[in-house]
Chain A
């Protein structure tokens, strides 16, 4: 997993507030103005600046600044790793996360050209061209969907006004999680994709809030299905990979039904009693339980709470595992399940606004992004089988030691006549065979 943090253009200049974020190589520093402006000698123990480190940090506030990072630069780091992964058959998932207004949509989906997505596609197609005269051939299909209030809408299909959200997420054992009835368009060149992309963006729901006049209130996933047909040892075979480009809804959204609640650690209170279950399910997750039922266990990310102690060897026979909680992860995490761990590469772009007025949101975005670095999908070992095996092996080692020791003793004993030695060797061998049989049976 690679995590990228990006400090984009902002509405900062329009607002005239103070800049509170600094970027220093791979570290982003946020200054807390509230603390800053207090008189010296306050008893506040909070740090004035908080530093977060990431794999990459970009500063895109002022084009004049020497540290200024253009979309081109962002792409070079990002796009290259996306592409190389996709060609090798990995699933790739690229997230943009951050407060509305901090430029996330700008990075992922927004206005024409010079966006990650475009770069990625351009890269794909140029690569495709390279291959055209060789044995390999490839197909690119795209789909584009939106998740709004936990409902899925196809962005590449003329929507029925009455029933805009009817798609269900399902899973197939062979093809993985999918959206039933989602349009997949076969594309052959870069221009087609851009058209589709723009068509979809136009359909996306954006609503006026006070923070941003075109803030995204929905998640959008643009998926590129990339299939390469190759000859492997003269046998035709296929490498399939999926690139998901995910634009997460603005992080200041307060709607509890939003899946954001499942992936961030916002302290908001859900107002409606109907969502009571969400509260209890986090309770149950916090107090994970003892059980030995699973050999390997998957833990979905719940930020810091998901850290599981690696089992202390030999002392406990059992793995901790939360009980079943009947609140499904959000549609978003469900759809991206295969992209959030295992054989996939995940890239996170956290965008923040350097303005002081966004201090809280900035902090929560950064906290989330640095927690996301800890997302783990850990298989675990069934310790009770292991404990048994260890015990048994210990016994065997003791037996082996005793046995070999008795050999050494005998070998070092002098003055046996050849004749007797021969007989004895015979005897010992017989003994050994017995011992051998005994422990084989154990």
Chain B
């Protein structure tokens, strides 16, 4: 080659500088000139391109074509990075055209895949997701074909502008090639997500994580967080084994990050804080895991009034015995993360909590305890002061853990105590909360407190029914619990009032159902208050009637509301019809001779 020797070395140097500018220097560009280094890199690349075409005659055509393709690729990426999509597209297209005939050869395949990756990105930025998909899927196919037909570590694009002695080792080549392919998969994951092919997207995310681990291309903290996030996806699909695996891997990889003593001592407090936050976030994912596993089990076990169905329990236990081993192992292979040593730690981590539905109190309790431990861990970081929303969400999860555990508890007294624990954790945070800034959370808490008191009252009634006779203590207890439930429903309804304390004529759609349900529950609660005083009883009935009437009247005035509360309305109508007669009887009884 004519330009060989000194000339070529200079070309290579220019190319290398351009790459450094683009990849390293550009990060330090001032915020007012974000693309300064990119533009300098572009200028250099263009110079290289000129030099190359000057040396055109005499050179080997194929070699030149490939080098030109490398430059077109770099220019294409450069233009895309600086928000000049059309120019970027032209360069990238030229790159793929030049490479088309050789795309399966070891010196071209990696570049070709990367060019297609970038075309995929480019089209996604234009909102043409289907076009992006075509490029990326073709990159994926090319990788697979190359690995099948050749499989040797191919050249990295940068090697085309390197002196012979600087060329990369096979190991490094393979690493870079695999990385390019990992990116293809990751971009495909996003494409599938945008196309709402959720399952496929998740599968590609999973593969991306797996490959990052295999090729050591990850930051432990980020990886762990990503895996923990993926666990949440599996949770939403009720795939508890996969979810647990992701979480266990997340915890194991995260502990790597913790163990590495900070390379530099000047690691800021901020970094430490972030690390603690990530840890707490992974703990929160574990909480959700435990909670969802328990709740799903509850769904399977409950009868039509939400109590544990013993027949169902026996049935599921028998079924579990049968299935146990076979199925799980088959599924597991497909999703397993990591090399053998990581794998062992992950398996050890997994053993700490079950991934099958708990079917009795003992099993449920074990999961509950694991969840509760993570609640403590998460709360250490997410304290009320500074993290109000997160803290409360964690407390709400804690409450939910107790609630679902109570379902598995047979003894009513102990069950009631579990609900009391919920009250004890929810009431104080509710009291401290300024509803002006946390209106939605306050409302959630009001409703949850009301429901919990209701549940406790129900349990007390059930306990009372087992007694020969309701003693006055139990009656008092029942009444006070009902009053507290009413109080919190009323607080919720009060939160709907406008700043002038007026209850809205017409309810906003988003609060319509909750408000109506609150009214409905209050109506019912007044009907349940126990009193031996008939006058008092009449009064309660009157109040109850008023609340039922509210529902009926409201729906008459705003017929659109009917949709949201059909059943409640139907029952309220009946009650509005029946209660006055019933009260009439009671009155008659009070003064039989009038």
Contact = CB atoms under 8 A, between A and B. Distances in A.
Contacts of A277: 222, 225-226, 229
Interface string B512-552: 01100100110010011010000000000000000000000
A174 to B, nearest CB: 5
What bracket does the count of chain A residues touching chain B fall in? 35 or more
A215 to B, nearest CB: 11
A171 B291 contact: no
A156 B450 CA distance: 45
A173 B233 contact: no
A12 interface: no
A416 interface: no
B564 A310 contact: yes
Interface string A325-365: 11100000000011001110000000000000000100010
A225 B502 CA distance: 25
Q: Give the dominant DSSP class at B's interface.
A: helix
Interface string B212-231: 10000111001001101110
B568 interface: yes
A425 B228 contact: no
Contacts of B389: 171, 337
B447 A382 contact: yes
A182 B453 CA distance: 42
B237 A148 contact: no
B505 to A, nearest CB: 17
A296 interface: yes
Given A171-B387, A267-B124, A400-B578, A343 B451 contact: no
A292 B295 contact: yes
Nearest to A266: B127
Interface stretch (B62-70, B105-113, B148-156, B191-199): B191-199
A276 B33 contact: no
A280 interface: yes
Contacts of A287: 198, 233, 236-237
A315 to B, nearest CB: 9
A286 B281 CA distance: 20
B34 interface: yes
Given A91-B436, A269-B124, A324 B393 contact: yes
Interface string A8-34: 000000000000000000000000000
B451 A382 contact: yes
A409 interface: no
A254 to B, nearest CB: 6
A420 interface: no
B585 interface: yes
A286 B198 contact: yes
Contacts of B565: 313
A267 B194 contact: yes
Given A293-B396, A310-B564, A400 B209 contact: no
A102 to B, nearest CB: 16
B437 A177 contact: yes
Interface in A418-442: 425, 429, 432, 440-442
Contacts of A239: 499
A165 B589 CA distance: 76
A253 to B, nearest CB: 9
A209 to B, nearest CB: 6
B299 A295 contact: no
A175 B434 contact: yes
Contacts of B510: 376-379
Interface in A166-181: 170-177
Interface stretch (B182-190, B344-352, B360-368): B182-190
Contacts of B291: 291, 293
B205 interface: yes
A404 interface: yes
Contacts of B299: 290, 292, 318
B444 A294 contact: yes
Nearest to B500: A88
Nearest to A1: B508
B30 to A, nearest CB: 8
Contacts of B514: 296, 379-381
A187 interface: no
Nearest to A426: B592
A394 interface: yes
B82 A210 contact: yes
Nearest to B34: A207
B585 A407 contact: yes
A382 B281 CA distance: 26
B440 A323 contact: no
A297 interface: yes
Interface in B375-408: 384-389, 393, 396-397, 400, 403-404
B578 A252 contact: no
B499 A324 contact: no
Interface string A370-405: 000000111111101111111111101100110110
Given A284-B233, A389-B524, A404-B581, A289 B447 contact: no
Given A210-B83, A294-B444, A377-B510, A269 B292 contact: no
A38 interface: no
B208 to A, nearest CB: 6
Contacts of B233: 280, 283-284, 287
A310 B521 CA distance: 19
A173 B434 contact: yes
B298 to A, nearest CB: 8
B558 to A, nearest CB: 15
B120 interface: yes
A90 B450 CA distance: 27
Interface in B148-190: 182-183, 186-187, 189-190
B292 A289 contact: yes
Nearest to B236: A289
By Cβ-Cβ distance, the 4 closest A-B pairs, closest first, are: A176-B437, A293-B400, A342-B439, A326-B281
Given A207-B32, A217-B31, A441-B470, 17 more contacts: A173-B433, A208-B33, A268-B125, A273-B183, A284-B229, A289-B235, A295-B447, A310-B564, A313-B568, A323-B235, A323-B288, A343-B436, A343-B439, A360-B126, A379-B443, A388-B458, A396-B527
19 contacts: A171-B387, A173-B384, A173-B385, A174-B432, A177-B388, A269-B132, A271-B121, A273-B212, A277-B229, A279-B205, A287-B237, A289-B236, A291-B295, A293-B396, A318-B299, A360-B126, A389-B454, A392-B524, A407-B585
Interface of A: 88-91, 148, 170-177, 205-211, 217, 239-240, 252, 254, 266-271, 273-274, 276-277, 279-284, 286-298, 310-311, 313-314, 317-318, 322-327, 337-338, 341-343, 360, 364, 376-382, 384-394, 396-397, 400-401, 403-404, 407, 425, 429, 432, 440-442
